[in-house]
Structure 1
Amino acid sequence: MTVDSLTLYRAPTTACDVEGIAEWLDRRIDCEVGVRDRFLDVFSNPTLPERFAEARVLDPYDRETGNSMLGIVRYEERALENPERAGGVLYDGLAVQRALNDALPAEERGLSHLHVPVLDRALATWGDHDKRWHKRVNVLGQPAPISVPGLYEAPAKPEAYYEEQQRHALLGGDTPPREVLESEVEGEFLVAEDPRTTEALAGYVLSAYHYLETGEAFCERSVCRLYNAHRQPELIEAQLRGPEFCERHTAVYAPD
């Protein structure tokens, strides 16, 4: 499949500079790269609040999703209108992807025009191997949503982070705010509003393009920006340190 154009969508409530990612991509891929405003504004659809409500993950160990009670749908309506008020909810990434695909005009759904909405929502996919939900940074396909919270939350943090989390729980009876743990634990991991967000997400956007172009989901080499990191130190190694790509993908994506 040949991707002729790629459109990125802004996420104004996040630290992600979508124009910066577009410039980075433009030097590396052979297609037209454009930027539009927030996807959920550009393709506003009266069914989206209910679709998001139905995509809510209710239990980390339950495959069934969704709560379409009136109060939940109203919350999703407010979150669509005022995204800065949203947060703390996990969504089935594939269900969100289907909802966004349905919101696209028919003439833009073809695989030659890849849409990459950068979202301020936390997305997950179900793991059949361990029967639980796993947070994700991106969901490959058309469109290919990118979760900014997923960048901070999906790849596992250093062991010291979870040890400190457990220590606080034992001493105080509950888990302290994430910001407290992040300030107390040394190690390599990204945090909310991290200034490295844009650079780190660029590789995930490239993965979305690469998947439609080649059918290859990710690279197995941890030194490549197409690598799917499962831990934060791996993410930093793949996305923020050189070289940018493994030898095979350098031949394809090295900037001009």
Structure 2
Amino acid sequence: MVDTVVLYRAPTTVADATELATWLRGRVDAAVGVRGRFLDRHADADLAEAFATARVHSPYERDTGTTMLGAVRYEDRALDDPDRAGGVLYDGVAVQDALNARLPRGESSLSTLHVVLTDRMLATWGDHDGRWHKRVSVLGQPALVSVPGLYEAPAKPEAYYRAKQERALVTGDAPPREVLESAVDGEFLVADDPRTTEALKGYVLQAVDYVETGEPFCDVESCRLANPHRQPGVVGAQLRPPEFCDRHAEQYG
């Protein structure tokens, strides 16, 4: 039983942890609090190396990580100055394990669920197809919710990829993402989207629901507890009514 939920801010993103906490308080039978960036509060001398060893090298290579001095120094700088981080994909389960080992003493049991909003891009390995898949969230303790993952993990509308291919054929180069985003009609979230906090509400609730029930996601595509693999599905589940399917409306509506 979750008695307390602790949300950690991701200050380099537009995600509003205070608004997420307020929304969550109205839906779960637990105390909900907000703290500063997890990596500011609980980093230690070895955490930079833990992030370096969690780096994904290739979409199709299961092995991850490096202990090369340059990579560890990069991660050390990123811990101190998160604005300098970016462009790196991490094994989400490895990052989760590293943060779990650094949870505050006395708060590591599931009665206190830690939900870490992060500016890191996370992925999990798919045994079914032998490749890494970007993720919005990695459920468990602590639960990780990747803000850039919200924009990048779910696939964009087909029109986006058609336009990308067409422009590449004409120019010989892939067009900038901003050009495509402004040129393509369709429903998808973009970096620093003003709808980010609203869209993350369901993912934060999923973290609590998973620990409470053991069920990772809802099968009803329109429910906030669903896990759409495409951006139009995210928009439908998180930004359009109804908030929940009938079953989850009884619990959280």
Q: TM-score, normalised by structure 2?
A: 0.98
- Could you say which residue in structure 2 is the equivalent of 1:89? 88
Give the Cα separation in 2 of the matches to 1:35 and 1:45: 21
RMSD of the TM alignment (CA)? 0.8
Give the Cα separation in 2 of the matches to 1:148 and 1:101: 19
- Could you say which residue in structure 1 is the equivalent of 2:210? 211
Residue by residue, what CA displacement relative to the aligned partner does 1:136-195 show, whole Å, maximum 9, x if unpaired?
A: 000000000100000000111000111111223223333222112111111000000000
- Amino acid paired to 1:143: P
Give the Cα separation in 1 of the matches to 2:165 and 2:62: 27
- Could you say which residue in structure 1 is the equivalent of 2:169? 170
Residue by residue, what CA displacement relative to the aligned partner does 1:55-105 show, whole Å, maximum 9, x if unpaired?
A: 000000100100221001000011111111111110000000001101112
- Could you say which residue in structure 1 is the equivalent of 2:132? 133
Q: How does 1:1-256 map to 2 (within 5 A)?
A: 2-254=1-253
Give the Cα separation in 1 of the matches to 2:99 and 2:153: 21
Secondary structure of the residue aligned to 1:107 is coil
Give the Cα separation in 1 of the matches to 2:52 and 2:252: 39
Secondary structure of the residue aligned to 1:8 is strand
Secondary structure of the residue aligned to 2:32 is strand
Give the Cα separation in 2 of the matches to 1:167 and 1:104: 48
Q: Which consecutive unaligned segments of at least 5 residues does structure 2 have?
A: none
Give the Cα separation in 1 of the matches to 2:45 and 2:97: 15
- Amino acid paired to 2:153: A
Secondary structure of the residue aligned to 2:115 is strand
Bigger mean CA deviation after superposition, 100-109 or 206-215: 100-109
- Amino acid paired to 2:157: P
Residue by residue, what CA displacement relative to the aligned partner does 1:6-33 show, whole Å, maximum 9, x if unpaired?
A: 0000011001000000000001100000
Secondary structure of the residue aligned to 1:117 is strand
Secondary structure of the residue aligned to 1:134 is strand
Give the Cα separation in 1 of the matches to 2:62 and 2:173: 27
Bigger mean CA deviation after superposition, 46-55 or 162-171: 162-171
Secondary structure of the residue aligned to 2:137 is coil
1:225 Cα shift? 0.3
- Amino acid paired to 1:224: C
Secondary structure of the residue aligned to 2:122 is strand
Give the Cα separation in 1 of the matches to 2:167 and 2:64: 31
Q: Which consecutive unaligned segments of at least 5 residues does structure 1 have?
A: none
Give the Cα separation in 1 of the matches to 2:171 and 2:48: 38
1:44 Cα shift? 1.6
Aligned pairs, number: 253
Q: TM-score, normalised by structure 1?
A: 0.97
Runs (4+) off by over 3 Å: none
Give the Cα separation in 1 of the matches to 2:210 and 2:71: 34
1:107 Cα shift? 1.4
- Amino acid paired to 2:219: E
